[in-house]
């Protein structure tokens, strides 16, 4: 058994913290049992480290060392600071749902005038009511220590239901804000259910109020997309440069459904995003695209698992990493095509651009194909900016940094342009531009 | 003072000397032609003048209006008025020609302490130039040179030259890949830019181009040196007898 027992002092401290935190954690009965089991599962495995294949490039024992005790409940000052951040980084035209230090903040959120067929509730309320959805919010792989830990400690989140046939007229945004000056763990979990024929756009943003630095954000998103439904999903990690963001999304699709997701990481000291997509119905299509723009000593890991369990589904992946200074980008993409998943069409293309000699990018595409009538392919490249192009541009008068910026924009543009919503595409382009301007 | 002065220039690439003490002096208003066999170092000279990395200058000087060009970054040279039309223009996918030219022109203006040019004013200007060179508008919306034919790439170089209005234009085989009509249009574009305070250095293998762009001086380059200079009749002479007579001189 490749179970590693965390017999470290920190493991114990966390165990004690869990005992203390339990009173704060919503959910009784079955949920409470689930949390205890999840915590025990985490304790058996401990913080993942490089000898576990999936975590080879992201050794949390070395990078994070310990899971901090839960951040305190935000007080009025914390909420004030978070309100400032939410306002400063607001995206025009979206319905904002704000979580501050892991607690749903109704006053900062926009819950008025929900369109028919849309329900939004804080996870805490759902758990405390012992609602049937509680269990669904907790469906996720407990063999992953960090997802198990999240299940054990999640304090709050958002539960969104979009009824059959409902087409949302406005994108929804879950805004995670860390306000705490004192570092702590912020553990959240959200659930999104799209009914049959429903259409929705969800943005997730991870932000830090001024002064919040070495916090740990642990988030889990569980998504169920019904038959013929469509979800567009944009995820923007703009955490503080000293912060950790260890998150997951677990998505299942019905038949003839469409999931388009784009993730961009510019923030956080260490981030890991584990996206698992399971095809449960035929004729569905998934596009998982992303961009890392990182520098300094940042470490950003995107780990994908696409499980083609049924026939006639398509998946497309475009990932672009831009890595400067001593930063480290990790992309792991695993595509499983199960024996009867014939006519699967899966393509994965990942490219990394290294802007310094000490920058590092690890690409690990993996295809596990057990069906014979499929079209699958992957490609991975790593390289520097083309010197000939740079010289041509400089010979036309562009200073080196500006020439680089144009080439980098073009490079990440190939992934950004897959975002369906004009507004959100512009948001991603603006974030990329900010990163490039900060570099110049 | 000459506009561009190359003095006893020695250049190495990968430990191998390619230019062995080359001198060239170009005055404002003049058109110089450089001819010479393949591999004689013509493109190397043009690259070193423009500031391409990877060349080691082991001796000599390049002065532009008396200033040491070798001390400047390529973009500084461009802003000062040095322009190279590349023998092999590169393709830049994902960067539209509009954007690229606008950014480049503004970078040059900024470096010279001039105001930036607004998008509408820029569009107007670039449209006029494109029209005069018979370049369709939709080419400007595409990535720089992406999917352009060889001839279109060359015309795009002349377009940039007309847009930036440089003081010294080095044209490295602008005639290669151009059909007869395109050659005439491009040459007209170049001639339109001839002026008393602008100089041109035209690198070519063919006398034909020099019928359109008539040079004041013709240089023969061989094995990394200028081995002979003369008037425009020198080009005709070369066309007849080839380079063999000069190879010995080098
Ligand atoms: N980067 C390089 N590395 C090694 N050798 C080089 C490099 N660049 C040029 N050379 C060599 O320098 C010599 C001169 O090349 P250059 O391109 O300047 O010639 P040219 O006169 O422009 O030739 P052509 O008429 O074919 O364009 C050639 O022998 C070439 O192989
Ligand atoms: Mg050449």
* Torsion sign over Cα B232, B234, B237, B243: negative
Do the Cβ atoms of B107 and A406 come within 8 Å? no
Model confidence at B56: pLDDT above 60? yes
Mean of pLDDT over chain B: 93
Cβ–Cβ < 8 Å for A132, A71: no
Task: Please give the structure tokens belonging to residue B246.
Answer: 């000069």
- What is the reported pLDDT for A12? 57
- What is the reported pLDDT for A11? 52
* Torsion sign over Cα A59, A63, A64, A65: positive
- What is the reported pLDDT for A280? 97
Q: For chain B, how big is the Rg over CA atoms in Å? A: 18
Asked whether B13 lines ligand 1 (CB < 6 A), one says yes
Residue A254, φ and ψ in degrees, nearest 5: -80, -155
* Ordered DSSP codes for B107-161: HHHHHTTPPPPPHHHHHHHHHHHHHHTT--HHHHHSEETTT--HHHHHHHHHHHH
Calpha distance A251→A92 (Å, rounded): 27
Task: Please give the structure tokens belonging to residue B213.
Answer: 């762009």
* Ordered DSSP codes for B178-233: --HHHHHHHHHHHHHH--TT-EEEEE-S-HHHHHHS--SEEEEEETTEEEEEE-TH
Looking at CA atoms only, how far is residue A57 from chain B in angstroms?
31
Query: How many residues are there in chain B?
Result: 250
| Tens place of pLDDT per residue across chain A (440 aa) | 333 334 444 455 666 667 777 778 998 888 888 999 999 999 999 999 999 999 999 999 999 999 999 999 999 999 999 999 999 999 999 999 999 999 999 999 999 999 999 999 999 999 999 888 888 888 766 789 999 999 999 999 999 999 999 999 999 999 999 997 788 999 999 999 999 999 999 999 999 999 898 999 999 999 999 999 999 999 999 999 999 999 999 999 999 999 999 999 999 999 999 999 999 999 999 999 999 999 999 999 999 999 999 999 999 999 999 999 999 999 999 999 999 999 999 999 999 999 999 999 999 999 999 999 999 999 999 999 999 999 999 999 999 999 999 999 999 999 999 999 999 999 999 999 999 998 87
- What is the reported pLDDT for A271? 98
Measured between beta carbons, the chain A residues lying within 8 angstroms of B164 are: 396-397
Task: Please give the structure tokens belonging to residue A7.
Answer: 């017999």
For chain A, the residues whose C-beta falls within 8 A of a C-beta of chain B are 386-389, 391-400, 402-403, 406-407, 409-411, 413-414
Question: Residue A22 carries which DSSP code?
Answer: G
Question: Residue A156 carries which DSSP code?
Answer: B
Do the Cβ atoms of A402 and B74 come within 8 Å? no
Task: Please give the structure tokens belonging to residue A358.
Answer: 């000490």
Looking at CA atoms only, how far is residue B94 from chain A in angstroms?
5
Strands A270-279 and A230-237: unpaired
Residues B198-244 have pLDDT tens digits of 999 999 998 889 999 999 999 999 999 999 999 999 988 888 888 88
Query: How many residues are there in chain A?
Result: 440
Of B52, B53, B111, nearest to A397 by CB-CB distance is: B111
CATH number at residue B113: 3.40.50.300
Query: Is residue A235 classed as helix, strand or coil in its secondary structure?
Result: strand
- Residue B33's H or E segment, with its range, is strand B31-35
Q: For chain A, how big is the Rg over CA atoms in Å? A: 21
Query: Is residue A139 classed as helix, strand or coil in its secondary structure?
Result: coil
Residues B10-44 have pLDDT tens digits of 999 999 999 999 999 999 999 999 999 999 999 99
Query: SS3 sequence, A250-291?
Result: EEEECCCCEEEEEEEECCCCEEEEEEEEEECCCCCEEEEEEE
- What is the reported pLDDT for B249? 53
Residues A185-224 have pLDDT tens digits of 999 999 999 999 999 999 999 999 998 989 999 999 999 9
Residue B231, φ and ψ in degrees, nearest 5: -85, -170
Mean pLDDT, rounded, for B92-117:
96
- What is the reported pLDDT for A3? 33
Question: Residue B89 carries which DSSP code?
Answer: P
Calpha distance B106→A130 (Å, rounded): 63
CB atoms within 10 A of CB A110: 16
Residue nearest to atom 1 of ligand 1 (CA): B13
CB atoms within 10 A of CB B10: 16
The single residue listed with the structure tokens 């539209």 is B96
Residue A313, φ and ψ in degrees, nearest 5: -120, 150
Of A391, A392, A413, nearest to B94 by CB-CB distance is: A413
Which residue segment(s) compose the domain that B195 sits in? 4-249
B107 in contact with chain A, both atoms CB, cutoff 8 A? yes
Do the Cβ atoms of A388 and B90 come within 8 Å? yes
Q: Which residues pair with A202 in a beta bridge?
A: A172, A233
Task: Work out the percent of chain A whose per-residue pLDDT is above 70.
Answer: 95
B96 in contact with chain A, both atoms CB, cutoff 8 A? no
Report the interhelical angle of B119-132 vs B97-111 (nearest 10°): 110
Q: Of B2, B167, B170, whose CA–CA distance to B81 is shortest?
A: B167
Cβ–Cβ < 8 Å for A325, A358: yes
B126 in contact with chain A, both atoms CB, cutoff 8 A? no
Task: Work out the percent of chain B whose per-residue pLDDT is above 70.
Answer: 98
Burial class for A226, CB neighbours closer than 10 Å (0-12, 13-18, 19+): buried
Provide the terminal-to-terminal Cα distance of chain B, rounded to the nearest Å.
Answer: 28
- Sequence-distant (≥ 6) Cβ neighbours of residue A214 within 8 angstroms: A183, A240, A242, A243, A244, A269
The alpha carbon torsion through A114, A115, A116, A122 (nearest 10 deg) reads -30
> What separation in angstroms does the CA of B188 have from each of A301, A417, B19, B129, B192?
56, 40, 32, 12, 6
| Cα angle for residues A55, A56, A60 (degrees, 5° grid) | 55
Calpha distance A201→A425 (Å, rounded): 13
Domain count, chain B: 1
């Amino acid at each position: 058994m490749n179970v590693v027992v965390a017999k470290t002092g920190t493991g114990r401290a966390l165990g004690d913290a869990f005992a203390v935190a339990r009173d704060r954690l919503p959910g009784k009965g079955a949920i409470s049992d689930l949390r205890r089991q999840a915590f025990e599962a985490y304790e058996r495995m401990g913080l993942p480290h490089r000898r576990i294949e999936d975590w080879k490039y992201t050794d949390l024992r070395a990078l994070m060392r310990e899971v901090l005790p839960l951040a305190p409940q935000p007080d009025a000052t914390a909420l004030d600071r978070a309100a400032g951040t939410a306002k400063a980084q607001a995206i025009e035209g979206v319905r904002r749902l704000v979580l501050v230090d892991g607690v749903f903040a109704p006053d900062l959120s926009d819950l008025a005038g929900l369109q028919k067929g849309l329900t939004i509730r804080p996870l805490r309320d759902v758990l405390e009511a012992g609602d049937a959805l509680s269990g669904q919010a907790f469906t996720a792989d407990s063999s992953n220590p960090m997802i198990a830990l999240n299940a054990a400690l999640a304090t709050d989140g958002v539960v969104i239901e979009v009824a059959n046939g409902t087409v949302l007229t406005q994108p929804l945004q879950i805004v995670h804000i860390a306000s705490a000056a004192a570092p702590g763990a912020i553990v959240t979990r959200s659930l999104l259910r799209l009914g049959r024929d429903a259409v929705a756009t969800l943005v997730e943003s991870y932000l830090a109020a001024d002064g919040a630095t070495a916090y740990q954000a642990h988030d889990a998103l569980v998504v169920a997309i019904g038959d013929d439904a469509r979800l567009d999903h944009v995820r923007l990690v703009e955490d503080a440069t000293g912060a950790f963001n260890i998150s997951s999304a677990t998505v299942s699709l019905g038949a003839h459904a469409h999931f388009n997701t784009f993730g961009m990481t510019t923030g956080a000291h260490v981030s890991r995003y584990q996206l698992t997509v399971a095809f449960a119905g035929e004729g569905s299509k998934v596009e998982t695209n992303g961009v890392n723009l990182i520098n300094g000593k940042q470490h950003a890991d995107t780990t994908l698992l696409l499980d083609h369990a049924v026939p006639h589904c398509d998946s497309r992946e475009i990932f672009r990493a831009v890595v400067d200074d001593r930063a480290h980008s990790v992309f792991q993409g695993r595509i499983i095509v199960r024996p009867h998943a014939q006519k699967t069409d899966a393509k994965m293309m990942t490219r990394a651009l290294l802007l310094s000699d000490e920058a590092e990018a690890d690409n690990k595409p993996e295809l596990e194909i057990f069906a014979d009538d499929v079209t699958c392919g992957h490609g991975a490249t790593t390289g520097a900016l083309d010197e000939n192009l740079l010289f041509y541009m400089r010979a036309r008068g562009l200073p080196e940094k500006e020439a680089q910026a144009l080439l980098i924009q073009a490079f990440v543009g190939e992934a950004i342009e897959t975002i369906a919503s004009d507004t959100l595409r512009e948001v991603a382009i603006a974030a990329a531009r900010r990163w490039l301007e900060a570099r110049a | 003072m000459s506009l561009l002065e190359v003095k006893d220039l020695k250049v190495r690439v990968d430990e191998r000397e390619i230019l062995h003490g080359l001198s060239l002096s170009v005055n404002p208003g003049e058109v110089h032609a450089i001819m010479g066999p393949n591999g004689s170092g013509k493109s190397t000279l043009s690259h070193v003048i423009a500031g391409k990395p990877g060349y080691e200058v082991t001796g000599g000087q390049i002065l532009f209006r008396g200033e040491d060009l070798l001390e400047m970054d390529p973009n500084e040279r461009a802003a000062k008025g040095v322009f190279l039309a590349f023998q092999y223009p590169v393709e830049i996918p994902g960067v539209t020609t509009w954007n690229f030219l606008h950014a480049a022109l503004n970078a040059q203006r900024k470096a010279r302490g001039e105001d930036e040019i607004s998008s509408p004013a820029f569009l107007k200007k670039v449209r006029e130039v494109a029209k005069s060179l018979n370049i369709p508008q939709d080419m400007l919306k595409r990535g720089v040179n992406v999917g352009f034919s060889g001839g279109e790439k060359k015309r795009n170089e002349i377009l940039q030259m007309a847009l930036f209005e440089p003081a010294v234009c080095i044209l490295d085989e602008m005639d290669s890949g151009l059909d007869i009509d395109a050659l005439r249009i491009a040459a007209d574009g170049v001639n339109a830019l001839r002026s008393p305070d602008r100089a041109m250095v035209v690198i070519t293998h063919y006398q034909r181009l020099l019928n359109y762009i008539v040079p004041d001086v013709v240089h023969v380059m061989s094995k990394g040196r200028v081995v002979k200079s003369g008037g425009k009749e020198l080009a005709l002479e070369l066309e007849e007898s080839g380079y063999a007579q000069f190879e010995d001189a080098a």
